[in-house]
Amino acid sequence: MENKFNTVLYEKLGNIAKITLNRPEARNAINLQLTTELNAALKEAGLDSGVRSIIVTGAGNAFSAGLDLKDFLGKSGLELRRFIETFYWEMTDVQYGLGKPTIAMINGPTLAAGCSIAFSCNTIVASDRAIIGYPEINVGLIAAMHVVLVPRLVGRHKAFELIFTGEPISATEAERIGLINRVVPHEQLEEKTMELAEKFASKSPLAVKLTREAFYRGLDMEYRKGIADAADILCILMESNDTKEGMKAFAEKRKPQWKGA
């Protein structure tokens, strides 16, 4: 299938979409074109009923080194604002409403805005060669979304250290403190990530979509309201063909045949 993008590669591997940041000569540094095409590729995967889960990774030996700072020198405030709206707001909104599990497959250094892409995904699988860090402070910038996100993941003291020293940590350390899901040997990265993607893809697409929505809303809600919202989703699912098929298949000791409805 012909790739329609210039800075990302889009592939379908059965019912899994693989999106690769494709500026290896710049260690997949992020500019406006890359973030625009990444959002478009995510939307395409979201709209494709044949796609059940999505992998995002980087070409070459890096996931992403962060913003392409050379691309921003001399840019006006309005141009910078356009990038921020596309990179932060639109990417967050696309991921929020995607309806399908996303996995960041971290194949190498993942720094600054590269972390923003990885952490926008639902799960993160990393090579044992990867490092993760927030070097923005070293060039007088703010690790924008991470001053909000990272304290929620690892606690405020560890987050402060990571953000204010600008020093990267190994993938193994990132897993230990709860920043990422798992670390695997580099040569097994693709295999182990595909295994996880296939597990996600094997579930009812309707149950995944509605549960994912409840999951995200629950993060934004007061606890009791989140529980009530999840209960409402459960009642909706109990009336669906997929849930009836899933329960029937369990009773009959066979694999369910999902229809997505």
What value does the mean pLDDT take over residues 48-52? 97
Region class of 125: left (phi > 0), else alpha (psi between -120 and 50), else beta: beta
Least confident of 19-28, 65-74, 99-108, 178-187: 65-74
Residue type, 142: I
Least-confidence region, from 2-6, 51-55, 93-97: 2-6
Report the Cα 205 to chain-centroid distance in Å. 18
Predicted confidence (pLDDT) per residue in 100-144, tens digit: 999 999 999 999 999 999 999 999 999 999 999 999 999 888 898
Structure tokens at 45: 């995967």
The model's confidence at residue 57, banded by pLDDT at 50, 70 and 90, is very high
Cα separation, 80 vs 61, in Å, equals 28
* 136 counts as catalytic: yes
What CATH class does 8-201 carry?
alpha beta
Chain region(s) in the chain for CATH 1.10.12: 205-251
pLDDT tens digits, 236-256: 888 888 888 888 888 899 999
The pLDDT assigned to 19 comes to 98
Structure tokens, 234: 């459960």
Cα–Cα distance for residue pair 199/196, rounded to 1 Å: 5
Q: What's the alpha-carbon Rg for the chain, to the nearest Å?
A: 19
Domain 205-251: give its CATH code.
Answer: 1.10.12
pLDDT tens digits, one per residue of 84-106:
889 888 998 999 999 999 999 99
Map residue 69 onto helix, strand or coil: helix
pLDDT confidence of residue 197? 98
Residue 113 three-state SS: helix
The answer to whether the CB of 124 falls within 8 A of the CB of 118 is: yes
Q: Provide the percentage of residues in the chain whose pLDDT is more than 90.
A: 71
State how far the Cα of 146 lies from the Cα of 152, in Å rounded to an integer. Answer: 9
Q: Count H helices and E strands in the chain, helices first.
A: 12, 9
Average pLDDT, the chain: 92
Catalytic residue of the set 85, 136, 187, 198: 136
Which residues of the chain are in CATH 3.90.226.10 domains?
A: 8-201
